[in-house]
Structure formats: C-alpha cells, structure tokens
Amino acid sequence: MSVFFTNDLTLRSGWRFGVYVCVFATLLLANGALISLVFIDPSIAANEVALLGINTWALLVPVSLTFLFMIRFVDHVPVGTYGVGFHESWVTDAGIGLAVSALMIGFYGGFSAALGGLNIEASFHDSGFWAPWLLTVLFLIVSAANEEFLFRGYPLQVLMVAVGPWPAIVVMSSLFGLGHYFNPDATWIGTLNTFLAGILLGLAYVRTRSLWFPYSIHIGWNLAIGPIFGFPVSGITMRSFWISEGQGADWLMGGPYGPEGGILGTGVMLTAIMAVVLTRRVSVSATQRSLLDAHANTVYAGAPLGFEFTRKSEG
C-alpha cells in the first residue's frame, strides 16, 4: 500500500489537496505581482469600482487556472464531476438558491425595522450612476464565483474524500471566515457569521453536488445587500440603488461591516441553514449522480445529506 497512491494509482486526496494549495498560492503571488506592476497609480485605490475589479481579477486567474490544472493533469476527470457546468436541475437549484437569499434579506430587513428602525434613501438618481453600478454588479457576480470555486469547489470536495463531508465543510468554512477577518471594520461577530455562511454554502453544495445552489445563494445575498439596498458587503461599500442603514447598535445590526457583522446577521445565517437543510426542493441530479458514480475513486460519492454520511475510504 502506497502512502501516495490508492490501489488504482489515484493520488491520495491529502496530496491532491496539498498540490492544489501549492499551485494556487504560486499563481496567486505571481498574479498579484503582475497586478502591482501594471496598476501602480495610487488613485486606483481610491476608486471603489476599480479596486473591486482588481481584487476580482486577482482571485479569478489563480482560482480558474488551478482548478483546470488539477482536473486536467492530476485527476483526469470532467469539470462536471466537481459540480461545475449545466445539468437538468441547474435552473431549479439556482431558483431555490435565490429564494433562500430573498428569505435572508427579508429576515434582516424585517427585524431591522422592528428592532431599531431602518433608514433607506434613494441614490440611483445621482449623475453617472449606471456605468459604475453595472460594473459593480458584474464584478460581484464574478467575485462570488471565485469564492465558490475556492471554498466550495475543488478543495472542499477533495477534503470530503479524506475526512468526510461534515469535517470538510467545517474546515473550509473556518478558512472562509478567517479569509474575511482582514476586511475593513471586521469583528469577531462578523467572522463567526462568515463561518456560518460557509456552513450554509457548504451544505447547499452537498445537497445538490452542484455549485449552482450555493452560488445563487451567495450572489443573491451579495447583490441584495450591496448594489441594491446599499449595505456594506463584508465591510466594503459600493455603488447602490439605495443607501440603507439600521438604526440599532452595531453589535446588533452589523454597523460599518454590514448585515453580516451583527447578532441579527447570526440569526439570518442560522435561519438560512435550516432552510437549506429542510427543503425538499433540491437533490442530486441524475447527471451529477452519474458523474460521481463514474469517478468514485476520485471524488466523494456518498449520500448527499441526511446526517448519515459514511466515509468512502481510500483503498
């Protein structure tokens, strides 16, 4: 028995995770160095749209190239095996995800208004509004995809093979939370809520074994609180239709970090987790089930949810 390979000569999941981290870190540093050489004008940092675009590109390149490298040269499996691509249930998965995000923003807005008041002012009549706003929406769409690839994509699914779904979700959610700890105005409550968001999105992936469900929750929430209602998104302010502010204490409403920074945000995340766990509207599609069964030596092919996960051991 080899410490590196399984009986069918597949590289063991721990080593695949390590290769992913090394390749991603190398590309991230290289891309960051290239960006720093190209965008040397300090005024760019003062332009929120340009800064958002640069940060989006900084993650897009290493995430995409590392994923393609792993499936092409290490795993030798189709991209759909890791939940990327279209299948017969993708529209349903995306629609239910958007419904969950609507539940989340409704929960936050309703309780904000009831507990301390909610101030909303229009801002879409400002001159030069539309071009920056549309770019903000575009960058957020790509940014959410980047984070799903990074935290619910390849690394999570490889860890599921090694340690099972629940430990893998906890590990990647912890990294997701810590990754946002250095955002502007971050607090320990915000870090906890981002960890819970990672649990939410990890469970959404496991329910369907497709990234459409977690991605639609992620982008629905980000677009609603950011470009539409004008709350800070994890401490980042951006161009928005309205500018909203909860009138209660920061520890309750979230303050300058946004809805994710307060105890009310904790309630939002826990409610959404319950919705994802309890809904019967989503399941693993036949296409995804077929891909998982065909490549069970590479990816986790166990039960999608039900709290009876069994670890598929490596031979």
Provide the whole-model pTM.
Answer: 0.93
Domains of the chain, by residue range, sit at 13-294
Indicate the range of 20-24, 43-47, 115-119, 202-206 predicted with least confidence: 43-47
pLDDT tens digits along 158-176? 999 999 899 999 999 999 9
pLDDT tens digits along 196-213? 999 999 999 999 999 999
Average the pLDDT over 262-287 and give the result: 95
pLDDT tens digits along 274-285? 999 999 999 999
* Strand ranges for the chain from DSSP E: 118-122, 242-246
Give the bridge partners for 11, in sequence order: 5
Q: How far apart are CA 183 and CA 270, in angstroms?
A: 22
CA distances from 299 to 36, 138, 142, 209, 291 (A): 37, 32, 26, 11, 9
- Who wins on pLDDT, 311 or 218? 218
pLDDT of 315:
46
DSSP string for residues in 113-138:
HHHT-EEEEE-TTSTT-HHHHHHHHH
Check: CB of residue 257 under 8 Å from CB of residue 190: yes
Q: Report residue 235 CA to chain centroid gap.
A: 16
How many CB atoms within 10 Å of residue 268? Answer: 27
Check: CB of residue 40 under 8 Å from CB of residue 130: no
